[in-house]
Structures are given as C-alpha cells and as structure tokens.
A = this chain, B = another copy of it.
C-alpha cells in the first residue's frame, strides 16, 4: 500500500525512496556494490531472515538496479550484480556516505575509505551543480515546479 503511494508521488525523491527507502534495500545494494554478491554471503553479512532477503532481492531485481546471474552451471548457482542503473544509484549511497562520514562518525573515524579506480585515489563524494560546479546545499537551491507537476496542476 504505502510502497505504491510513494512511487506514485510526483517527486523524484519519493520515487527514489520507493526503490531504496526501507533500510535493508540500500544496505543490500551497498553489499552487492562492494562484492558481497551471493545469497548466503548477504544473509550472513546483514543478519536478516532469508524471507526478507529474498523479498528485497526480488524487489531490487524488479526495479532493475541489480540482476541475477549464473556463476556456476552444475549445480546451478546464482549471484547478484549491479546493473548500470544500480551502479548510478550507488552515487546516492556515496553522497550518503560523505554526509554520514562528516556528521555521524565518532572519534574512531570513518567506517570506510572510498577508492576511485578511475583516478587511483581515495576521495569523498561531492554533490555539485551541473552548471557552475559548486558544491550544493539546500539553503542555496530553490525547487520550481517541473513539467510533471505543472501537468498535474
């Protein structure tokens, strides 16, 4: 019920939260991203019931952010991998990581260091304006109704 409602809202935040908006989904996406790809590994890492994990994996596959692929023929075994759409969704996880690292890390430091294979360095994710390149914060941005909201009005 609620799931449908969020996905139907004319809001890209609500729609994206509908894809990754209960806490397990982003953590499953995170695990598949970092190479925890198999059902048993996921279950062990996350400590969730196989019922919930099965349901969440099916949801994420249905949303096209991960895919199931065979890695062994006899017996047939499957693992999960990011799709291109899921790989792009990881950028949202990286933006979350940057904010969490800055505001929620304790004296023991950040949980994880992100290594950019493309440039070979550790980095923080920065959310920047596609026009001027500045780092973005809510106070500097004003949303205006877009075509889909105007069509509804």
Chain A interface (Cβ within 8 Å of chain B)?
Answer: 2, 6-7, 10-19, 21-23, 26-27, 30, 33-34, 82, 85-106, 108-119, 121-132, 134-149, 151
Contact = CB atoms under 8 A, between A and B. Distances in A.
Contacts of A139: 82, 87, 90
Number of copies: 2
Given A26-B13, A128-B128, A138-B33, A103 B115 contact: no
Contact of A12 (B13, B112, B116): B112
A117 B141 contact: yes
Chain B CB within 10 Å, residue with most, of A19, A102, A115, A125: A125
Contacts of A110: 12, 146-148
B87 A91 contact: no
A126 B116 contact: no
A106 to B, nearest CB: 7
Given A13-B100, A140-B117, A111 B149 contact: yes
A79 to B, nearest CB: 16
Contact of A11 (B30, B82, B106, B137): B30
Given A12-B97, A23-B17, A33-B138, A131 B108 contact: no
Given A125-B128, A132-B121, A138-B87, A100 B26 contact: no
A138 to B, nearest CB: 3
A16 B143 contact: no
Given A118-B129, A118-B134, A137-B88, A112 B146 contact: yes
